[in-house]
Chain A
Amino acid sequence: MGNYYFKLAWLSFKKTPLLSLLMVGTIAIGIAAAMITITVGYMMGKNPLPHKSERVAMVHLNSWDPAEPISYRRNGEADIPNMLTYQDAMALLTADKADKHVPFVSFSTLVRTETQDVKSAEMHNIRSTSRHFFSVFGAPFIYGATWSEEADELGQSVIVLSKRENDRLFNGANSVGESIILDSKLYRIVGVIDDWQPTPKFYVNSFHMYTPTLPYFVPLESQIRNDFFSPATMGWYCWGDDATSTLKDVMSSECVWIRFWVEFESEAKKYEYFQFMADYTEEQRKVGRFLRPEPNRLMSVTEFLEEEGAITEESKLGIVFALAFLLACLCNVMSLMMTKFYGKGGEVGLRRAVGATKKDIAVQFGCESILVGLLGGVIGLALAQLGLSALTDMYPEYHANVMTMNFTLMVSTVALAVGTSLLFGLWPIYRATRIQLSSQLKSL
């Protein structure tokens, strides 16, 4: 019987093509608008480390200027730095209270292979971190592995490449054991990671959460040994009168510039660690540091994303507006359906006369609403894809991952279209089943 009704729905669709296309088009546009914004919001809000987001946490220590807080949070409270000074980062590393530590900064320098000449070197941003970066944040290796503990401690000149850089410099071959030159320093390749783009890129601040991952990784200690310093591109905040002209200056200053993440084997250890941070702060107070009142923070991935606003206000606002827009579209569709079903009053009367029950009529028109919704959903899905790819071009600072629908979202798009069109068809359908039988039979 379903078949029959869908055949009728299709015939009816063809009978009034303009009206039908208007309905489908209106739903499609409304659905596309809603799903584009929902996709962006959903992808932005995704948990990038679902299996351990509560066991991976970022350390925020309040080492800031007693005169004034570093800034204010959205709710007006005084904020604390979300980066550490070099001396604090080293103190936490040395204390070794967490299972894995990932301090990181970045610098930019010229990169080339041994065979390339100086002129063809390219300027690149380098992630300077610990060997645990990859395992804690989930970056997969295709060749080799991360560097050794020794490399971290001694600051050996070893480097991990992204697949893209490996493709560019080594044509995708296994380059482990080869060397590349950063500025004038020779670095030995120990590993190549696969294409890797956590969405959101949760371990940096919100400004960079949707930008591509950096292409090179070296031990933090090697950056220091080789004196790489990019004051005009790295993120750092300073207070006080310390000199900041060289890396050495910054390392001994109160400037905060190192992001510091830790991983625990169990959540319980996280609370112990927080206590350790408090103890450390207390100790530092004795030597005149950490004089501000705001407490330290140990923020899990989810807490940090929430605090940083991983889902931008604009994308939240967009969802609200797009849903309202969809509502307006659906009202319009409902009105068109009333028109459509009203025009079919004669047919309803006839069908009722020859024995169709109200339910039969409701099912028939229900199928028609579903068909309209289905077509609207499919076209809406196509429009949404177009819209998302346009957005990718329009917002280059957002990685394309944010503008990509997964399978669930695609199915939801069509389901939303069918569901809403059926929902908004209920009243027109109800009205259609209520028509006065005898008055409709004079003409068709």
Chain B
Amino acid sequence: MKDFNPILKTLWKSKTGPLLLIVQIAVAFTILINVSFMASSKLHELTESSGLDEEVLFSFRSNLPVESEEYVALLRQDLADIKNLNSVESVTVTNSVPLSGWGVFYSLNASDDPDSYIAQAGAYVGSRDYISTLGLDIIMGRWFEESEMEFTTEGNSDRSNSILVTKAMAEQIAPDDWSTAVGKAVYMNGRAYQIVGIIDRLIATWPEWRGNERSVVFPTYIMAGENIFMVRAKSGQLEQAMVDVKALLMQQPGKFVTDLHTFKYTRETGYKAMESSFIILAGVTVALIMLTMLGVFGQARFTLMKRRRQIGTRRALGASKFHIMRFYILESLIVVGAGVLLGSLCAMIANVKLIELFRQDAVPYEYFLYGGVGVCIASLIAVIPTAYNAANTSPAIATRSV
């Protein structure tokens, strides 16, 4: 590294340019690290499985155009009629559709003391075929007994206290071994519930909620004059099933069927904002890298402009093209490296502030490593044409008067 000292001296002699570049890279790197981390977190959430058989599901909202005393009977009839359709595999009524943005959540506590708070979870209620309709996996314990499940229009004081939770929720309840959550009791609004089974995955209804892997399923469906249905179509007959179900229900006078959407549509709509954020964040990441490359490129051109003669002299004195290129590239790398180091420091400070102010997660260390390497590679690409140009300076320029 015998070039090292002369490089540092050269840099020190005209500091402004390199300093500006260092500041620019530091600022860009600070944003880059945080933004790219946010982008990849979003991507992670976007690509996460909902736990549902998304391809064959659709949902809709419909009413029961009868007096409330007849709600239960008509709902059972509707469910049976829908299931009988040729294009339909199974159907369930539910309080809310995953990722639709509308639903209920509960705070789960370890005891009836609110201070024993564990976590919040999205709450679902379904009818008997809920699990098979949505295509969920129960990986521990069991589904509800027939006797536990009920449709009711009454108050809920004597409802079954059995619940299922998702694995992510079980991990919060029993951090050491989630499988031991089965059989445990949790408290919601001061009432005790017993976990009878664990569902592998069932995403909560809010796409942007970071705890949306945590869900609870209750057995008691509290009826009203309007209900949400989720239907599993026979494979390849999704569109037909949607038409059939609507036609079937619309035969009843006073009936409406609305918000009839495939689950894919619900998911896309729910994730639209997050997807947009991801696109923006990814775009910003690319823009930052390009800005950095531009800065490195500009700086290299500037020094080349100032140093043509000096380089010619070096060449005349016997420096090979390789020497010149090495000098140039090393010089850029030192500046970029300094920028990255300063940027890492700023990024860490910024990240701490972001955690504090915006409740962001801490950026893992790999991001600094890969980010630093990435910026250095991008800078190399930016500097090589100029370095090559510099190396091709004719030695004759040294002897020419300016």
Using a CB–CB cutoff of 8 Å, the interface residues on chain A facing chain B are 22, 26, 29, 33, 65, 67-69, 71, 108, 110, 123, 183-184, 229-233, 239, 241-246, 249, 313-314, 316-317, 321, 324-325, 327-329, 331-332, 334-336, 338-339, 342-343, 391, 394-397, 427, 431, 442-443
Q: A232-B227, A332-B295 are in contact. Are A338 and B277 (CB under 8 A)?
A: no
Q: Is B326 an interface residue (CB 8 A)?
A: no
Q: In the complex where A231-B226, A334-B20 touch, is A123 in contact with B258 (Cβ < 8 A)?
A: yes
A331-B24, A394-B276, A442-B402 known; A22+B294 contact, CB < 8 A: yes
Which of B107, B276, B298 is most buried by chain A, counting CB atoms within 10 A of its CB? B298
Q: How far is the CA of A229 from the CA of B23 in the complex (A)?
A: 60
B116 to chain A, nearest CB (A): 11
Q: Provide a sorted-by-A list of 30 A–B residue pairs whose CB atoms are within 8 angstroms.
A: A22-B294, A29-B287, A33-B284, A65-B189, A67-B112, A68-B109, A68-B114, A108-B258, A110-B256, A123-B256, A231-B226, A232-B226, A232-B228, A244-B224, A317-B354, A317-B358, A321-B31, A321-B284, A324-B30, A328-B24, A328-B27, A328-B31, A329-B291, A331-B20, A331-B21, A334-B20, A335-B20, A335-B21, A335-B299, A336-B298
Interface string of B344-359 (1 = CB under 8 A from A): 0000000000100011
Interface window among B136-144, B150-158, B175-183: B150-158
Per-residue CB contact flags for chain B residues 221-262 toward chain A (1 = under 8 Å, else 0) read 011111110000000000000000000000000101011000
A125 CB, nearest partner CB in chain B, Å: 11
Quick check: B153 and A335 within 8 Å, CB to CB? Answer: no
- Which of A69, A334, A443 neighbours the largest number of chain B CB atoms within 10 Å of its CB? A334
Beyond A123-B258, A242-B155, A343-B305, whether A229 also contacts B273 by CB under 8 A is: no
Please determine whether A26 and B294 come into contact, CB atoms closer than 8 angstroms: yes
Which of A229, A243, A249 makes the CB contact (< 8 A) with B226? A229
B8 CB to closest chain A CB (Å) equals 20
Give complex CA distance A125, B225 in Å: 16
Nearest CB of chain B from residue A35's CB, rounded to whole Å: 15
8 A-B pairs with the lowest CB-CB distances in the bound complex, closest first? A67-B190, A394-B276, A331-B24, A245-B153, A241-B157, A231-B224, A339-B302, A328-B27
Q: Is B68 in the interface zone, CB < 8 Å from A?
A: yes
B102 proximal to A (CB < 8 A):
yes
B288 close to chain A: CB less than 8 A: yes
Contact check, B27 vs A230: say whether CB atoms are below 8 A apart. no
A298 to B287, CA, bound (A): 46
| Contact flag A241-B68 (CB < 8 Å), given A26-B294, A229-B224, A338-B17 | no
Tell whether, in the assembled complex, residue A325 and residue B284 are in contact, meaning their CB atoms are under 8 Å apart. yes
- Which single residue of chain A is at the shortest CB-CB distance from B26? A328
Q: Residues 276-314 of chain B: 1 if any A CB is under 8 Å from the residue's CB, otherwise 0?
A: 110110001001100100110011011001100000000
Q: Tell me which of A65, A69, A335, A342 has the highest count of chain B C-beta atoms within 10 A of its own C-beta.
A: A335
Chain B's interface: helix, strand, loop or mixed, by majority? helix
For A313, the chain B residues whose CB sits under 8 A away are 358-359
Given contacts A229-B224, A229-B226, A395-B272, contact A327 B27 (CB under 8 A): yes
Check if B190 sits within 8 Å of A335, measured CB to CB. Answer: no
Q: Cβ of A332: which chain B residues have Cβ within 8 Å of it? A: 20, 24, 291, 294-295, 298
* B368 CB within 8 Å of chain A: no
Q: Is there an interface contact between B225 and A395, defined as CB atoms closer than 8 Å?
A: no
A395 touches B276 (CB 8 A): yes
Q: In the complex the two chains form, what is the Cα distance from A241 to B215 in whole Å? A: 22
Q: Which of A108, A239, A242, A321 has the most CB of B within 10 A?
A: A321
Q: B47 near A: Cβ within 8 Å?
A: no
Which residues of the partner chain B approach A343 to less than 8 Å between Cβ atoms?
A: 305
Complex-state Cα separation, A396 to B277, whole angstroms = 12
A226 to nearest B CB, angstroms? Answer: 13
> Interface centre among A232, A335, A442, by most B CB within 10 Å?
A232
Chain B positions within 8 Å of A442 at CB level: 402
The docked-state distance in angstroms from the alpha carbon of A339 to that of B303 is 9
Chain A residues in 8 Å Cβ range of B224: 229, 231-232, 244-246
CA distance A391 to B306 in the complex (A): 44
Q: Known contacts A67-B189, A338-B16: does B157 contact A233 (CB below 8 Å)?
A: no
Query: Min CB distance, B268 to chain A, in Å?
Result: 11
Nearest to A234 among chain B residues (CB) is B102
- Per the 8 Å Cβ criterion, residues 120-174 of B in contact with A are 152-157
A65, A329, A331, A442, most chain B CB atoms within 10 A: A331
User: Does B57 belong to the interface (CB within 8 Å)?
Assistant: no
Are A230 and B226 in contact, with the CB atoms below 8 A? Answer: yes
Q: How far is the CA of A427 from the CA of B19 in the complex (A)?
A: 13
> Are B291's CB and A335's CB within 8 A?
no
Closest to A334 in B: B20
Within 8 A of A (CB), among B81-114: 95-96, 102, 107, 109, 112, 114
Contact B154 A328 (CB under 8 A): no
- Which residues in B have their C-beta under 8 angstroms from that of A431? 16
Interface contact B223-A324, CB-CB below 8 Å: no
Contacts A317-B358, A331-B20, A342-B302; A324 near B294 (Cβ below 8 A) = no
